[in-house]
Chain A
């Protein structure tokens, strides 16, 4: 009876599968306008990311990456989505306005970004790491995250887009080097991310209080 772990190259396969899942979730986010659903999609994406980190840690036997997988699980799957979801409930806004570019066109554009990412990633394929596929996905996540930040007009979605772009960066670090960045750097990045979301939360409250809306479109007085 063969189990999956007996296959010699099971780890890269599972990682590629999970990375593909992350990309699918990112595409769903491009089409989705309900805020709470977007938060949940982010949590799912982070769960897949934690899975990739765990598989990488297992196949390279690296305790540091296990630690980062645990931190991703605790921080990005539970703590941050909980915080953002609470924010969404408190400001009582469920759905966001029409984005600049309508969802079908946006999907098409994001497909283009993915293609571009694979072209950029191709030269960096090496046998020992998770391979060019995962690296390609990570660049795509980053680019689509940036695109979402520009395309969406709503403060909370911009925060989520930033978090997704950061997921892509974390994936890039793992897929390129198999053990991620030095631990102190990873911890620092995580800390920054947490503080950033807190600060953004404070600002969202203030925007809500002063503008009676959280559409970033209203932030348009400063010019020249």
Chain B
């Protein structure tokens, strides 16, 4: 019942909002929906801990600890982004960057976007999961083209073309998985042959030749959505052109959907092929992404694109953790996914504020944000430390776990390269962000009051980030542990 509600609610809200014209009502509808989804997601997480697995709609929907965790993260991101968006778009309208008609489409598309993301993690069928991931692309492409400028249309075109190309490969992988499932289960199982609950049980009996091809194609496909190198090229464009709230949904929501899909298939691939092949491929893609992101972070001139490379890096870290494998690697991947999803929205919010106030995405044109926008500047510095993995913030913990996993898996060289990449990105970020936030502001711009909606959302996220640095609540940790067992396979 809860499971059905959490998926249906945003869909209904989306359809309803097509009929609504008044902006205050659209704002309320959005906020109410995402608030309700967050409450339901928390309840679902509680229920999953008691019963292990929850299913709904005749087994069409399915939630275990991993799905419940990711659904919770998506709900959190959707809620804080919903709050922030109200302040952000009111400001955009005030400075006449967009019209009320344009903003309406943001509020109408986001419920569908969130619906697709929740369906990705809460469906039982790997086929429907594919449909939903393609759905996230389709719901978000017009959000990227939102400002309707030459550059934003270019970014949207690249996003949908590269995204569709990648996702077709994932479909091919899904078809191959289905083929090997039918080989084991016989044609009687044709309707349920893609269901995770069925596949996970017969993982070791699947046709290895077909599964090897399937895993490679799925990784290429969902890796495109996660932004792994070399399929990452859409990401800097999309992240720099979309309005800040849409970027937050992409960079903290969709990335988790893609990583979630990769986690499912890596568990399946490991069960069928053993960890050797799967681990090598994952480490190669993960490490490649971290290492390629590093030089681009160092020489970056545009802070919105900088954040995209940070996102590529974090996708790489999660995939590398999966590749290191074992319970420790799985724990690292799940922890990192959780902490990244909680931390990342604040980065996008701060960047959005800076761009909205100064009207430029170029680093060299802005200094001394902290003097002009004290809250934004301060939080920006804090979250820079948090996202690059400085203790005591929680990302340090997950990165440290991943390092231990790498050493435990006897991948010394890979671990060393991983450290080089992460440290380079840390220093690059620190240099760029201290230049941006500290120093004297260009003009004698007065200190400006910041919108309570934007500030509220930012403070909520900041409080959560700080709390998680020192204290991981017991129920959350149990959920993460249970999810780790699913990702790592029960030993």
Contacts and interface: CB of A to CB of B under 8 A. Distances in A.
Given A172-B175, A177-B179, A182-B127, A203 B157 contact: yes
B134 A192 contact: yes
A47 interface: no
A155 B168 CA distance: 18
A124 interface: yes
Interface string A169-213: 100110011110111110011011001100110110011001100
Interface in B150-167: 150-151, 153-158, 160-161, 164-165
Contact of A185 (B127, B142, B153): B127
B175 A184 contact: no
B289 interface: no
Nearest to A179: B190
A169 B171 contact: yes
B161 A158 contact: yes
A188 B128 contact: yes
Nearest to B172: A169
Interface stretch (A38-46, A67-75, A91-99, A216-224): A216-224
A206 B145 contact: yes
Contacts of A203: 141, 145, 153, 156-157, 160
Nearest to B234: A222
Interface string B96-131: 000000000000000000000000000001011011
A142 interface: yes
Interface stretch (B71-79, B300-308, B400-408, B471-479): B300-308
A196 B160 contact: yes
B315 interface: no
Contacts of B236: 222, 224
Most chain B C-beta atoms within 10 Å of own C-beta, residue among A120, A155, A166, A207: A207
B178 A181 contact: yes
A172 B172 contact: yes
Nearest to B181: A177
A83 B491 CA distance: 53
Given A182-B125, A182-B190, A199 B178 contact: no
A179 B178 CA distance: 11
Contacts of B149: 210
Nearest to B135: A192
Nearest to B168: A165
Interface residues of A, dominant DSSP:
helix
Given A182-B191, A206-B153, A162 B168 contact: yes
B161 A149 contact: yes
Nearest to A166: B168
Interface string A132-153: 0000000000100110010000
A146 B241 CA distance: 26
B160 A176 contact: no
B138 interface: yes
B237 interface: yes
B298 to A, nearest CB: 12
A123 interface: yes
A31 to B, nearest CB: 22
Contacts of B141: 199, 203
B209 A123 contact: yes
B269 interface: no
A187 to B, nearest CB: 9
B352 interface: no
A219 B236 CA distance: 15
Contact of B175 (A181, A183, A195, A221): A181
Contacts of B151: 221-222
Given A162-B164, A196-B164, A185 B125 contact: yes
Most chain B C-beta atoms within 10 Å of own C-beta, residue among A183, A191, A200: A200
Contact of A173 (B158, B175, B240): B175
A189 B153 contact: no
B240 A184 contact: no
A46 to B, nearest CB: 16
Contacts of B158: 219, 222
B356 interface: no
Contacts of A179: 187, 190
A123 B158 CA distance: 35
Contact of B127 (A142, A188, A191, A200): A188
A44 to B, nearest CB: 21
A58 B156 CA distance: 43
B179 A142 contact: no
B155 to A, nearest CB: 6
Contacts of B171: 169, 189
Interface string A5-19: 000000000000000
Contacts of B237: 222
B444 to A, nearest CB: 32
Given A149-B165, A177-B179, A188 B154 contact: no
Closest 7 CB pairs of A and B: A185-B127, A188-B131, A219-B154, A176-B179, A222-B237, A192-B134, A173-B175
27 contacts: A142-B172, A149-B165, A155-B157, A162-B164, A169-B168, A169-B171, A173-B178, A176-B178, A177-B179, A179-B187, A184-B127, A185-B125, A188-B130, A189-B131, A191-B131, A196-B138, A199-B141, A200-B160, A203-B153, A210-B150, A219-B154, A219-B158, A221-B150, A222-B155, A222-B158, A222-B240, A222-B241
Given A185-B125, A224-B300, 5 more contacts: A169-B175, A172-B175, A182-B192, A189-B131, A196-B164
